[in-house]
Amino acid sequence: MKNYDIVIIGGGPAGLAAAVAAFDAGQKNVLILERDSCLGGILNQCIHNGFGLHTFKEELTGPEYATRFIEQVTERKIEYKLNTMVMDLSPEKVITAMNREDGLFEIQAKAIILTMGCRERSRGALNIPGFRPAGIYSAGTAQRLVNIEGYMPGRQVVILGSGDIGLIMARRMTLEGAKVKVVAEIMPYSGGLKRNIVQCLDDFGIPLKLAHTVVDIEGKERITGCTIAAVDEHMKPIPGTEEHYDCDTLLLSVGLIPENELSRGMGVALNRVTNGPTVNESLETSIPGVFAAGNVLHVHDLVDFVSEEAEAAGRNAAAYVAAGGEETELNEIPVEIEGGPRYTVPATIDPKRAGDKLTVRFRVGGVMKKKSVNVYLDDERVVHRKRPVMAPGEMEEVLLTRAMFDKHPDLKSIKIKVEEE
């Protein structure tokens, strides 16, 4: 069995940033395992622009953003294996993986960083009634077909869900010669970025129907049409509001699910809200020495924050290995939430290990206007930030500093509260 200090599961944006950060923090014996034939993950098919504004202060496309990180990995000669599927992770940090050259093989790691990303929710998970013909694709599958394989999955398109990939694909399909007839979103607000609604839908006159869903799919071989209806406040279709659309394609952009089958298999505790691992301030999961970052942890809107989070995980994993895997006694304080946040990453904080700066990220459950985000250490308010609007589609963050924690040597409670402005 081969030994590595740090093994990174997945060579997408999170895995690449984690590997570079771990290397730069002094751990040179790092291995990235990637199932696809190249590094970069989903960014390779995200050929639109809008990446990197925070990280590189310029607007890049997905492949360009990925290339910047891939170059950092190759400059450092960090080892990676492509076309390699991780089949199993054990709590003892034995990785079982498989590829064409090595067969089924095992690796012993001192630390593991989980960066497997997420997958798209499928039609099946939504119980959309109707037939099951060809021509129903998740937006990401359609994106791969158009951008990588060079094929058009369809011509007359209806899109269900206004997640960013769906919006991006509305524009891509339109530019490449398809007619996108409508985007239906079951929620009363869009799950995508405002910028994408304007530049991917409004620019092309594509209507967005909020509080609408698909209630029937027609076509026994290839989809020939679908019916869209308005929904009430309980998301139940309202009879009499049905509208029929002829179409040969239905794209689904109805949510992303962190891909944690491997994490679950190794016994990592998962959070029911995020579907990702529960992590502490070091982005360390319930298994010491196993870290997580990026969309496998919680689904992000911007890759820039994935990279930032993964760099932290990489540094923390390096520190764990440097300490010989010995963990000092932890004093994990749960981050309490009130008034809007549905979860926080991290879920617990040990002030001693919080570093100089600690970013806490969360999402709210509904659209909220004229609010403020506040952080209380015991009863002292240490952060107060006005938020004219917050929406579930946009991740929020607060920054905690060493100085804040130093003032509370006997800290008992950490609370993030959304309050009236």
Burial of 356 (0-12, 13-18, 19+ CB in 10 A): exposed
Using CB under 8 A as the binding rule, the residues of this chain from 124 to 143 that contact other proteins are 124-125, 127, 129-135, 137-138, 140-141
CA distances for 16 relative to 34, 110, 291, 311, angstroms: 10, 18, 14, 9
Could you count the other beta carbons within 10 Å of the beta carbon of residue 242? 13
Q: Binder to other proteins among 73, 158, 215, 279 (CB under 8 A)?
A: 215
Q: Binder to other proteins among 29, 72, 108, 199 (CB under 8 A)?
A: 199
Task: Report the distance separating Cα 376 and Cα 399, nearest Å.
Answer: 12
Task: Report the distance separating Cα 107 and Cα 294, nearest Å.
Answer: 23
Beta bridge partners of 54: none
Q: Where are the alpha helices (DSSP H) in 182-259?
A: 194-196
Provide φ and ψ at 345, rounded to 5°.
Answer: -120, 115
Is 104 near other proteins (CB under 8 A)?
yes
Q: Binder to other proteins among 81, 110, 123, 353 (CB under 8 A)?
A: 123
Site size for other proteins, by CB under 8 A? 89
Between residues 80 and 320, which has the closer beta carbon with respect to other proteins? Answer: 80
Is 64 near other proteins (CB under 8 A)?
yes
Task: Report the distance separating Cα 349 and Cα 385, nearest Å.
Answer: 21
Query: Could you tell me the smallest distance in angstroms from the CB atom of residue 233 to other proteins?
Result: 18
**Residue 393 region, left (φ>0) first, then alpha (ψ -120 to 50), else beta?**
alpha
Is 393 near other proteins (CB under 8 A)?
yes
Using CB under 8 A as the binding rule, the residues of this chain from 14 to 43 that contact other proteins are 35, 37-38
Using CB under 8 A as the binding rule, the residues of this chain from 370 to 389 that contact other proteins are 388-389
Q: In the stretch 319-358, what mask flags binding to other proteins with x, by CB under 8 A?
A: ----------------------------------------
Residue with tokens 């799950």: 191
Picking from 236, 207, 221, the residue whose alpha carbon sits closest to that of residue 127 is: 236
Residue with tokens 């771990």: 22
Between residues 93 and 353, which has the closer beta carbon with respect to other proteins? Answer: 93
Query: Could you tell me the smallest distance in angstroms from the CB atom of residue 338 to other proteins?
Result: 22
Using CB under 8 A as the binding rule, the residues of this chain from 230 to 249 that contact other proteins are 237, 248-249
In eight-state DSSP terms, residue 351 is G
Q: Binder to other proteins among 25, 94, 152, 210 (CB under 8 A)?
A: 152
Q: Binder to other proteins among 177, 240, 324, 409 (CB under 8 A)?
A: 177
Is 92 near other proteins (CB under 8 A)?
no
Is 269 near other proteins (CB under 8 A)?
no
Between residues 91 and 388, which has the closer beta carbon with respect to other proteins? Answer: 388
Could you count the other beta carbons within 10 Å of the beta carbon of residue 42? 20
